[in-house]
Amino acid sequence: MKYISTRGQVEAVDFQDAVLMGLADDGGLMIPRAIPDATDQLKAWANLSYPGLAFEILRRFTRDMPEHDLRLLIEKTYGPSYFINDTEPEDKRDVAPVVQVGDLFVLELWHGPTLAFKDVALQLLGNLFEYILERRGGKLNILGATSGDTGSAAIYGCRGRRGIDIFVMHPHGRVSPIQEHQMTSVPDANVHNIAVEGSFDDCQNIMKSLAGDLIFKRQYSLGAVNSVNWARVLAQIVYYFYGAFNVLRRTGAKAVRVSVPTGNFGDVLAGWYAMKMGAPIRQLILATNENDILARFYNTGEYSLGEKVVQTLSPSMDIQVASNFERYLYYRVGGNARRLREMMAEFSRTGSLRVKPGENGLVDADFAAARADTQQVLETIETYYKQHEYVFDPHTACGVAAAEQLKDRDLPILCLATAHPAKFPAAIAQATGRDDLARHPAIDAMMHLPTRCKILPNSKQAVREYIIETLG
Ligand SMILES: *Cc1c(COP(=O)(O)O)cnc(C)c1O
């Protein structure tokens, strides 16, 4: 399987090169040249374990890796180390268990080390980086900027890996105490937290300008772990199959609809790839909070910037421009890279682009979309707690609220649970009036650990010097 860029100006490369490249060299995103058809495999795959299924799916996209190596890599990724902070008994451990809550099914994706779904992909990516570096030699220095949540999953993905150092910037004093502890209590020598005396945007600007300095980038082998990396999308395809199979077994239904709380469009895009491969998924329900550019797109065909980012209870969905949307648009314009370049240029110029609805009047029958505002999210958390004693985190609640709006009698709905509620105790307390519901022993324990963090002024030069000094 070769990989190409959505903008069509990069020579086709193998999987491992696409992983190292991250963002394509022409500014586009890397995608597989073809989407494998798994329709004939569904029976054989339906009862596989999570690692077994991951192997079957990944091997179709990773032809440049020996199958034996891939199997070991997957077993290492989703083995005991994945569950270090999980509270399930050993024989019940599952990367993506399904629980029924009322008439919805919930796919719990937060059993990994940082209690959020990003672990599913970032644990694999860390192992992949290590594997590739071991065989090719060399080092990788990951530089990231986080407003809170992604940083910890990236740090846990890279901690202790040979050949990798990771530097994560966060805005000093502007992330929640839990988020800060999750990042700064990791003791591994290859993890470097930087608190920048500025905003998240300042952190991101420093990252972009350092990564854009090609001499510095080459000299210090800078890499990225953000969600444009193809390996992250690929890892997430697996749980769409796995969750759908589970619901089919329980209900006897022929297909499911899957509700996905969406920010950067990485997660729901993985669901779309799963559908195109033949997973028994009829439709994706795309859920947003007040930052609803994507929900508006799927309801009107117009993708246009809103006023500015609104801060909500679901911070990982507080996003204006969804970086993975370009991959979807590429397919939408029939794989015409030139047309896509025009559309992206138009969007940069005007803050808006549009596609024509199909003959059925829909923008895309594969997607239904809805927005859930803060009030609806709080009500959803409260109602499900009162009626079912199940506590959703605010991101998951957004997806559940969208599913409620778009429910039909036909097909069961699987809602992706993207974070454990204990990561967002203030929102849970606000919704339920109780501060004892959102607890997790791993979070409680972590709050007492010693922390390490370098505080730096809001300056690219200061961060650059710190990196150089640290790497010696
Ligand atoms: C990142 C994140 C999301 C959004 O996922 P995307 O792939 O960016 O659409 C939703 N919920 C949680 C808890 C997240 O951390």
Per-residue pLDDT tens for 361-374? 899 999 999 999 99
Indicate the average pLDDT of the chain.
95
**Which residue among 107, 267, 424 is best mutated to probe the pocket of ligand 1, counting the most ligand atoms within 8 A of its Cβ?**
267
pLDDT exceeds cutoff 90 at 241: yes
Rounded to a whole number of angstroms, the distance between the first and last alpha carbons of the chain is 39
pLDDT exceeds cutoff 90 at 320: no
- Ligand 1 centre to CA of 267 (Å) is 7
Q: Which among 134, 124, 117, 191 is positioned nearest to 159, based on CA atoms?
A: 191
Of all protein residues, the one whose alpha carbon is nearest to atom 1 of ligand 1 is 316
pLDDT single digits (tens) 120-170: 999 999 999 999 999 999 999 999 998 877 899 999 999 999 999 999 999
Q: How confident is the model at residue 212 (pLDDT cuts 50, 70, 90)?
A: confident
Q: In this prediction, what percent of the chain has a pLDDT beyond 70?
A: 100
pLDDT exceeds cutoff 90 at 307: no
pLDDT single digits (tens) 255-293: 999 999 999 999 999 999 999 999 999 999 999 999 999
3-state secondary structure at position 385: helix
pLDDT, mean of residues 371-381: 98
On whether the CB atoms of residues 321 and 438 are closer than 8 A, the answer is no
pLDDT exceeds cutoff 80 at 35: yes
pLDDT, mean of residues 49-53: 98
pLDDT for the residue 249: 97
**Which residue among 149, 269, 284, 316 is best mutated to probe the pocket of ligand 1, counting the most ligand atoms within 8 A of its Cβ?**
316
pLDDT for the residue 397: 98
- Ligand 1 centre to CA of 411 (Å) is 25
Q: How far apart are CA 304 and CA 289, in angstroms?
A: 16
pLDDT for the residue 306: 81
Which of 2, 43, 76, 118 is an active site residue?
118
Length of the chain: 472
DSSP codes joined into one string, 242-270: HHHHHHHHHH--S-EEEEEE-SSSHHHHH
Q: Which token pair is 441?
A: 């022993």
pLDDT, mean of residues 340-352: 95
Q: Which among 355, 306, 300, 309 is positioned nearest to 329, based on CA atoms?
A: 355
Q: How far apart are CA 470 and CA 472, in angstroms?
A: 5
* Ligand 1 proximal residues by C-beta, below 6 Å: 116, 118, 149, 227, 261-267, 316-317, 395, 418-419
Environment class of 216 (CB within 10 Å of its CB; exposed 0-12, middle 13-18, buried 19+): middle
Is residue 217 part of the annotated active site? The answer reads no
Instruction: Tell me the pTM.
Output: 0.96
Q: Which among 97, 88, 141 is positioned nearest to 120, based on CA atoms?
A: 97
Q: How far apart are CA 55 and CA 34, in angstroms?
A: 19
pLDDT single digits (tens) 7-20: 999 999 999 999 98
Of all protein residues, the one whose alpha carbon is nearest to atom 15 of ligand 1 is 316
pLDDT for the residue 24: 84
Alpha helices (H) along 141-223: 149-158, 177-184, 200-211, 214-219
Q: Measure Cα distances from 197 to 84, 170, 319, 360, 456 in Å.
A: 33, 9, 22, 52, 6
